[in-house]
Amino acid sequence: MTFIIDHEKMREMAKIPLILATDSDLCREGHSFFVGGALPISATLETIFESYGAESADLFVLTFGGTETIRNGLEMAKVIKKNFNTRLLVRISTSFVPDWLYEQIYASGADLLDIMLPYKNPNDFQSTLSDKITPQYLAAKNAFPRWSVASTVTADGSSCSTLIRRVEDLLQMGIVPLPRIMWDGQQSSEQEIHNLLQHLSKSWRTHHVPIKQFSTLITLFSPLVLKQKPGALRNIIDRFHDHGKLATSDLLRHLRVTAPTDSLDSAGL
């Protein structure tokens, strides 16, 4: 699967940037359904059923909030996985997460995980990678199957050389870097973003990352598009294969997950 940069799409994204969904949002963007982990479960599920009946989605993105809503988020994941045969990605945007929570998230039904750290100057990243961020990535990777954990890389056109180093560091750890573009339309920064996206697309191939499972988010939050768009027959075949992969993923989860622990209770959550 090869991605190329759609420059017209990039200019459109500069005019109308896509706002990230929070733990209290419920919305659709393209073929993705964004669900807040702090929302009431019954009412949210009813709304999802109504929208899903009109048009199916390729991906559910469940955004976790603070510690006070962890139980609700885990239960929301179980409900979504039980009622929809669609890939589920859990997004965590908090900086510090206990190691046991990743296992709980995986056990609840999440197929993918995105550790999305708060956006800041990319120059600050290198100083915190080894002592704070790396253990979090490794704990998540140990809880999920190979290449199922991602981390969103936010690019605004500044310090892209630092972000390229970050991309390589993530891939070396077995974490999938995902692009998110926050571009103001300035030509001076366009080439920097172009270089980053080209490097990212090449690195996915170099490291043999099964990137298809993340393609919905990639095309939503960046100007990257598939070099060759599949036809109607290919789409049908791909959906059939996806359903098979989801079934295999669920079986793998059943084999890997042991009886739930009382980590939530012991943590006072």
Mean pLDDT by runs of 10 across the 269 residues of the chain is 91 88 93 95 94 86 91 96 94 80 93 81 48 83 94 84 89 95 84 92 95 94 84 58 67 65 53
Q: Residue 84, Cβ neighbours under 10 Å: how many? A: 17
Task: Supply the pLDDT for residue 232.
Answer: 60
CA dist., res. 137 & res. 139, Å (int): 6
Name residue, tokens 């393209």. Answer: 30
Q: Are 113 and 150 spatial neighbours (Cβ–Cβ below 8 Å)?
A: yes
* Residue-wise DSSP of 168-192: HHHHHHT-EEEEEE-----HHHHHH
Burial class (CB in 10 A: 0-12, 13-18, 19+), 222: buried
Closest CA to 221 of 28, 75, 17, 43: 17
Return the half-sphere exposure (C-beta side, CA atoms, 13 A cut-off) of residue 222.
29
If phi > 0 it is left, if psi is from -120 to 50 it is alpha, else beta; for residue 30 that is left
Task: Supply the pLDDT for residue 238.
Answer: 58
Enumerate domains of the chain plus CATH numbers.
3-266 (3.20.20)
State pTM to two decimals: 0.85
Closest CA to 13 of 188, 213, 221: 221
* Coil/strand/helix, residue 225: strand
Task: Supply the pLDDT for residue 160.
Answer: 80
Closest CA to 93 of 141, 44, 37: 37
The enclosing H or E element of 232 equals helix 232-256
CA dist., res. 205 & res. 222, Å (int): 18
**Opening angle at CA 159, ends 202 and 162, nearest 5:** 55
CA dist., res. 144 & res. 167, Å (int): 20
Task: Supply the pLDDT for residue 128.
Answer: 44
Q: Residue 50 corresponds to which tokens in the numbers above? A: 């109504």
Q: Residue 267 corresponds to which tokens in the numbers above? A: 């943590």
Name residue, tokens 């659709």. Answer: 28
Q: Residue 69, Cβ neighbours under 10 Å: how many? A: 18
Distance of CA 117 to the CA centre of its chain: 12
